[in-house]
Amino acid sequence: MNDFKKQTYSDQVAEHVRNEILNGNLPPGAAISEVAIAEELSISRAPVREAMQILIREGLIVSHPQKRKHVKALTAKQIKNSYFTGGVLEAAAVARVLEQYTKEDFLELERIVAEMKAIADTNGLVSDQVPLDNEFHDILFSRIDNNLIVELCRRACQGISKFLLYTHWVKLYTAQQVYKRHRKIIDALRTKDPVTIEQVIRDHYTTSGERMSAYGADVYDG
């Protein structure tokens, strides 16, 4: 890690830990040793401590007084509640700004979904669709002029699906189902009906939360 730039040590340490979580090397509940990370990366503990604070704010790391930090482990109920909350917030926010989505936004959404379909039609993997999924929701968030809602949405769902339980998330749906689920959101957006789009986006998240809850720390013995 000698190629770290001093002014970005903490960000790069945070990225390193995220990748360890993503790869399953640090599963939910795993203890985090700042000393071990500092030694592994051949750096001082100061940027590691700063990185821990970044990850705590993101909801990936949990810290309790007098106890070692650990990767967040969620119960089945907490997973369901997180997805429900994220879905309600994103649905309400998108419905409120429906008229602000431009022709260019729709063209981008259609491009993304077309690429999802191409991956599905060629027996590609859901993991290949992950960047597209991120792009898709980034466009939905782009018209929401409320950073707090966007931050809460990302923390409620993306932290779980894209990091903490990524290895399970990519198995929740087939690539074809991922395509169809996002196709359904575009079709709802085109209706310009707030009630329809709220229902579709809420369902998009709650159904994922129901499936993901099978991997809660209190029920999954993998």
Question: pLDDT 10s per residue in the chain (222 long)?
Answer: 445 454 578 999 999 999 999 888 999 999 999 999 999 999 999 999 999 999 998 889 999 877 789 999 999 999 999 999 999 999 999 999 999 999 999 999 999 999 999 999 999 999 999 999 999 999 999 999 999 999 888 888 878 888 899 999 999 999 999 999 999 999 999 999 999 999 999 999 999 999 999 999 999 887
Which residue, 173, 151, 163, is CA-closest to 74? 163
The confidence score (pLDDT) of residue 121 equals 98
Domain termination site, one of 71, 99, 119: 71
16, 99: one domain:
no
Domain assignment present for 222: no
- Give pLDDT, residue 9: 84
Does 104 map to a domain? yes
The per-residue pLDDT for 52 is: 94
The alpha-helical segments, DSSP class H, found in 29-75 are 34-41, 45-57
Q: How many separate domains does the chain show?
A: 2
Cβ(94)–Cβ(197) below 8 Å = yes
